[in-house]
Structure 1
Amino acid sequence: MRLRGMQAGGRTGPWWGLLRTPMGAAAGAGVLVLVGLAVIGPAVWGGAAEAVDVDALRDGPSAEHLVGTDGLGRDVLARVLVATRTSLGLALLATAIGVLSGVVLGALPAVLGRRAGRLVVAAVNLAVAFPALLLAIFLAVVFGVGSQGAVLAIGFALAPPFARLTQTLAASVAGQDYVAAARALGVGRARLLVRHVLPNIAEPLVVNAALGAGNALLAFAGLSFLGLGVQRPAYDWGSLLGEGLNRIYINPAAALAPGAAVVLAGLAFTLLGEAAAAAVGLRATATRAPVPPAAPPPAVAPPGPDGDVLRVRELRVAFPRDGSWTVPVAGVSLDVRDGEAVGIVGESGSGKSLTALAVAGLLPQGAVRTAAALSVAGQEICDVPDRSLRRALGTDLAMVFQDPLTSLNPALRIGRQLAEVAEEHLGSSRADAHERAVDRLRDVAIPDPHRRARRYPHEFSGGMRQRVMIGMALMAGPRVIIADEPTTALDVTVQRQVLRLLQQAREDHGTALLLISHDLAVVASVCDRVLVMYGGRVVEELPVSTLLAGPAHPYSRALLASVPRMDADRTLPLATIPGRPPDPSTRPPGCPFQPRCAHATDRCAEAVPPLEPYAAGHRVACLHPQVGPVGPTTAPALEATS
């Protein structure tokens, strides 16, 4: 499979990427039109805007004056076009004042002492709580009626939101390691702010500046409409709107023309800000999206036996990277039968968790999933509508994540989170769903479940939160549970409790289990079969008994040899696997393990070995499979560790 990317003229980055979207292109074109009118408007239509025609005082639309004339017979449309320079220029000047003063106010707490910084933060919070338009009107009166006072009023009215945004972004960056390293090197506060903090928060500030320009344009028109902005003989869209409104029943076009200009200009800047936010958030890196990876042809692997609750064929996951695609999961096939426990093991970066997320439809934004077949409980879920996918994943398939603290909503009580599953997928009433949630908490050995259901996630220990996640997974009676590193960061006693709960779920509910772990001891104590992954592929599939006796793939054997044993010679170094796992974007040709394999030959670099039968219930993807146990006490060591 070849993944292609496109580049055009060397222009890359999120700011060029925003113009590729329909909204970004429309907004960019609108802003360019406004800038063009501001530049050429007075030169082209300035004479018509100032020409007095006493024979056409307050006329309606005609062939000579498309939207009519004002009280002195001047063409209203020409005046609207000429006013683009004044309206746009003053609005952008006010935006610049608001952004600069807001950034300074937001950055001051990082430079000043703690007490002075708190005072600045309190002042900003107070200003943000005050409505911006009312604040602008108040400041316009303070600074004086006229365009200068209006610019200062709108600029300082925009400053508090920018200050709050700067404070929030600066606080998030201040905790990064590179800022701590610079602080440890003795970098001063001001230099730390200018060199290390502000450059890393510039993009969201620029995005919000574009949104602020639209708000400033509307606010300036409002002040001029009220008589607090541009004063005669100068004029802008707001003052023209005020003049036209006085005779809207006689000539509505005279009021609609400047009003439409205000709305369309404000909309152009707002849409530009929204498009920039989307582009920056996605971190687009190419002017044209790379060609998505092609789906593999169907029936590329033999069908599994009847009774499979989960069937995956040639699963691939690809991410866009530098105009091309990176494929960290490159053709995984697996089957899980009813009530069976299957483990997936491998080093970090082998594609275990991505495989689970792809099966559950939970890949991060930008990732592309393709598969020849992907079904849960007999239902194909690879290319189905989102509603059908949610129904299947909420009932037939459930997932237990690695970190329950980040997987549970900190703002909701535990009982409410569990009950939501029953309400959404089973149609239960609120009361019945709550009782079901309490029953599931009782099933996973949560003491006093009625009281605990009213608690928040932070009031539970790590082991109890993981039990809650298992209880949530059991709420809708799933056919298969995917557990992604469920015992990570738990002590051995709590690990045993969590594994017993998963085993009990299999026995009580007949639920199948797909357990992902890097801990061979955990997999050996729970699972019936094991899949060993390396470089985004399954390199060996074998029963647990065969894993303990001695696998055939050199990588599986190296993993097994790396497990510490109690009877190991302490004078010898711990067994390790030399080298590093391959980068998904630069995998070597042939077998992905051959650069680290002691048994590799020239044939291993020619093609990727297929996963072929090796013994009963045992398949291996290797040209040189090994025979015999890895060590004399390997199996007892694993069993003791579990």
Structure 2
Amino acid sequence: MPHQDQDTSLRHRLGRTFRTPIGITALTGCLVVALVAVFGPILLGEQAARVDTDAINQGSSAAHLLGTDQLGRDIAARVVVATRLTLRLTLLAAVIGVGGGLLLGVAPAVVGRRPGRLITATVGVLVAFPGLLFVLFLATIFGVGSTGAVFAVGLAMVPPMARLVQNLTASVAGSDYVAAARILGVGRLRLVVRHLLPNIAEPSVLFAAQATGGILVAFSGLSFLGLGVQPPEYDWGRLLNEQLNRIYVNPAAALAPGAAVVLTGLVFGLLGEALAQAGGRRTPRTPVPAPVQRAAAPVDTDPGDDDTPLVRARDLHVTFPGGRHAVRGISLDIGAGEAVGLVGESGSGKSLSALALADLVPYPGRVDAGTLRFDGRDPRADPHLGTELAMVFQDPMASLNPALRVGRQLAEVAEVHLGASRAQAMARATDRLGAVRIPSPERRARQRPHEYSGGMRQRAVIAMGLMGEPKLVIADEPTTALDVAVQQQVLDLLAEVREESGAALLLISHDLAVVAQVCERVLVMYGGLVVEDLPVAALIGGAAHPYTRALVGAVPTMATDPGTELATIPGRPPEPGEAGPGCPFAPRCERARDRCHDEVPDLTSSGPGHRVACWYPVDAVAVGTPARTTSNGAEATP
């Protein structure tokens, strides 16, 4: 998503959050505290400093709401005036804590391994040290006074902040896009600013906001002990110290500074909670208006087509920086209600092709196509396809938030995309869980993903895709991590979903047996290209491309002799960017000739519903085609 769209989305979420009770309370509290800090010393500064020997140690009265101190000064005015200094010192300490925590937190991700380990170990030791003792230790080192207290409290916040940032950056630093940035030569400072900090901003801000309340309490505690603010200056902790000995005579005077500390700390806590709602999945939902009917985008059709397919891609490319050409100009059609299998070895471009159809290729990948249409619209320019296209990934836990109940996650789809109320969305989530054969859907909807088995989690992800009315279901290796019995259940479920909803299915797999069971047509990919397109019925005996034949030969059947050695394909698939000028399979193909190494074959018709990209298809070679030229110039018959 573009950075501008992210900013707009964040502003929208913040706006919605600060219209909730928690958001309104936090915003009101912050505004009140800020106004008191700004205007309190201006309006009441003189009254707070005025010494009145005739009103020493008086109790509450109309003239002095909280009474007076040992010099006759108005305590209520002093509590109000102390707000500015208390907040200023608290925020200074928070800046030191947050800044130092960020520096130590991101350092292990950008410095060398040994310095990084040393920093991590040091932070671990400091975190294990009791916080209060650490504050007192630092206060003793920096000396008595407000400056020393600021550094003591601020530095005491550094270790927990650094530990949080280290844990967050450790997961981000292992991401593929960070590795790609390193390979491309991105500098360390730019790597931190552009790739690490933006991805940990929300939890870091939440922690900082809530920790600021703890800093306020710690700073007031130092002043109360006489280690913080010194006379003639005063903050809330100092006022509490001065009036504590009169708590039984004038309790209001002693409790007012403490109440100010507690209430302001609560304001910081509520602010952190509001930021957590705005930044995470807990964002409250407001009714979404019904989508506006828009004119359909023009549909690209090829001459002679009688029916426009649901999905059409022509000359589809997916590229990454550094010349990594993962998908190299494939063309495919998927008809409405059709089940198509996409097979090939790992790295052949199957998943990226499917992600390109859904406009989900991760940054910094780029999708280019002569024609790319889903139901007559360009998915790259139409943001309203969320309910018409469903994706089921290999690992369901990558799609399910372990901290949220399954029903709540499914209901979010209906709330966001369909404008349903919370009750309506939950009812539909329960119905969809029942539709995918999850027993007791009402009870299961209230459970979290870890309470589901692997097969049930996969069913829940399928149910998530069915929260709308999908016209296409893309299933990317949906059975790889499941045992055989559960695999069969998931495959049967996909077939039922397709039959009941009329949705088309694009099944990505390296298991030809799975594809043959579910699909009607098979696309075989190799090296970022579609090398064969054929009906499932022709897969076993009618495949024309040597690669497809090799894949079929590597799959044992019930009739395979236990002593038979399974066929293998020598060599390895090409990495993106490694493909040469000819057929990508030529280096591993026993039937390759000189032409195969020099020219890329087009995907051409080889019979009804059958296309193959091979200069010398298997059937043609079998009836006698020119012999293959070997490396020493001799000719050999395949």
The TM-score by the shorter chain falls in which range? 0.5 to 0.7
1:143 aligns with 2:143: yes
Equivalent residue number for residue 506 of structure 1: 498
Equivalent residue number for residue 420 of structure 1: 412
Deviation at 1:550, TM superposition (A): 2.6
1:610 aligns with 2:602: yes
- Once the two structures are superposed, the pairs formed by residues 192-591 of structure 1 within 5 Å of their partners are 305-321=306-322, 325-382=323-380, 384=381, 388-389=382-383, 391-392=384-385, 394-591=386-583
Secondary structure of the corresponding residue to residue 480 of structure 2 = coil
* Unmatched 5+ stretches in structure 2: 1-94, 109-114, 176-187, 209-214, 220-226, 229-298, 623-638
CA contact (8 A) 1:503 1:526 kept: yes
Deviation at 1:470, TM superposition (A): 1.0
Cα pair distance change 1:428/1:547, threshold 3 Å: same
Secondary structure of the corresponding residue to residue 321 of structure 2 = strand
Q: Distance in 1 between matches of 2:618 and 2:105?
A: 70
Q: Distance in 2 between matches of 1:320 and 1:470?
A: 33
Q: Distance in 2 between matches of 1:627 and 1:127?
A: 82
Cα pair distance change 1:143/1:522, threshold 3 Å: same
Q: Distance in 2 between matches of 1:345 and 1:600?
A: 22
Q: Distance in 1 between matches of 2:388 and 2:173?
A: 44
Secondary structure of the corresponding residue to residue 129 of structure 2 = helix
Deviation at 1:565, TM superposition (A): 2.9
CA contact (8 A) 2:310 2:376 kept: yes
What is the TM-score when the length of structure 1 is the normalising length?
Answer: 0.57
Equivalent residue number for residue 286 of structure 1: none
Q: Distance in 2 between matches of 1:98 and 1:499?
A: 47
Cα pair distance change 1:629/1:499, threshold 3 Å: farther
Q: Distance in 2 between matches of 1:125 and 1:357?
A: 48
Cα pair distance change 1:447/1:611, threshold 3 Å: same
Deviation at 1:413, TM superposition (A): 1.1
Q: Distance in 2 between matches of 1:444 and 1:486?
A: 14
Q: Distance in 2 between matches of 1:97 and 1:539?
A: 53
Equivalent residue number for residue 160 of structure 1: 159
Percentage identity across aligned positions? Answer: 53
Cα pair distance change 1:353/1:167, threshold 3 Å: closer
Match of 1:599 among 574, 591, 605: 591
Secondary structure of the corresponding residue to residue 559 of structure 1 = helix
Equivalent residue number for residue 123 of structure 1: 129
Q: Deviations over 1:292-312 (max 9, x none)?
A: xxxxxx989778651411111
Q: Which amino acid aligns with 1:562?
A: A
Q: Distance in 2 between matches of 1:341 and 1:545?
A: 13
Deviation at 1:380, TM superposition (A): 2.1
Q: Distance in 2 between matches of 1:491 and 1:97?
A: 45
Q: Distance in 1 between matches of 2:493 and 2:99?
A: 59
Secondary structure of the corresponding residue to residue 618 of structure 2 = coil
Q: Distance in 2 between matches of 1:316 and 1:103?
A: 38
Deviation at 1:152, TM superposition (A): 6.0
CA contact (8 A) 2:126 2:159 kept: no
Deviation at 1:485, TM superposition (A): 0.6
Q: Which amino acid aligns with 1:143?
A: G
Q: Which amino acid aligns with 1:360?
A: A
Q: Which amino acid aligns with 2:127?
A: V
Secondary structure of the corresponding residue to residue 571 of structure 2 = coil
Q: Which amino acid aligns with 1:484?
A: D
CA contact (8 A) 1:401 1:407 kept: yes
Q: Distance in 2 between matches of 1:332 and 1:454?
A: 44
Q: Distance in 2 between matches of 1:593 and 1:603?
A: 12
Cα pair distance change 1:506/1:334, threshold 3 Å: same
Moved more, 417-426 or 470-479: 417-426
Cα pair distance change 1:172/1:431, threshold 3 Å: closer
Q: Distance in 1 between matches of 2:568 and 2:550?
A: 8
Give the number of the structure with larger relative contact order, counting CA–CA contacts within 8 Å between residues 6 or more apart. Answer: 1
Q: Distance in 2 between matches of 1:96 and 1:415?
A: 40
Q: Distance in 1 between matches of 2:477 and 2:395?
A: 8
Q: Deviations over 1:16-66 (max 9, x none)?
A: xxxxxxxxxxxxxxxxxxxxxxxxxxxxxxxxxxxxxxxxxxxxxxxxxxx
Secondary structure of the corresponding residue to residue 308 of structure 1 = coil
Q: Distance in 1 between matches of 2:324 and 2:447?
A: 43
Deviation at 1:162, TM superposition (A): 5.6
Cα pair distance change 1:427/1:606, threshold 3 Å: same
Give the aligned CA root-mean-square deviation in angstroms: 4.5
CA contact (8 A) 1:341 1:529 kept: yes
CA contact (8 A) 1:484 1:517 kept: yes
Deviation at 1:594, TM superposition (A): 0.6
Cα pair distance change 1:125/1:592, threshold 3 Å: farther
Secondary structure of the corresponding residue to residue 395 of structure 1 = coil
Q: Which amino acid aligns with 1:519?
A: D
Secondary structure of the corresponding residue to residue 613 of structure 1 = strand
Name the count of aligned residue pairs. 415
Q: Distance in 1 between matches of 2:351 and 2:107?
A: 41
Q: Distance in 2 between matches of 1:326 and 1:107?
A: 33
Q: Distance in 2 between matches of 1:532 and 1:496?
A: 23
Cα pair distance change 1:300/1:156, threshold 3 Å: same
Secondary structure of the corresponding residue to residue 348 of structure 2 = coil
Q: Which amino acid aligns with 2:410?
A: L
Moved more, 152-161 or 416-425: 152-161
Q: Distance in 2 between matches of 1:125 and 1:511?
A: 58
Q: Deviations over 1:159-202 (max 9, x none)?
A: 335642576379879999xxxxxxxxxxxxxxxxxxxxxxx999
CA contact (8 A) 2:106 2:166 kept: no
CA contact (8 A) 1:102 1:159 kept: no
Deviation at 1:595, TM superposition (A): 0.6
Cα pair distance change 1:318/1:590, threshold 3 Å: same
Deviation at 1:398, TM superposition (A): 1.0
CA contact (8 A) 1:400 1:486 kept: yes
Cα pair distance change 1:455/1:150, threshold 3 Å: closer
* Unmatched 5+ stretches in structure 1: 1-90, 177-199, 230-297, 631-642
Q: Distance in 1 between matches of 2:551 and 2:334?
A: 23
Deviation at 1:612, TM superposition (A): 0.5
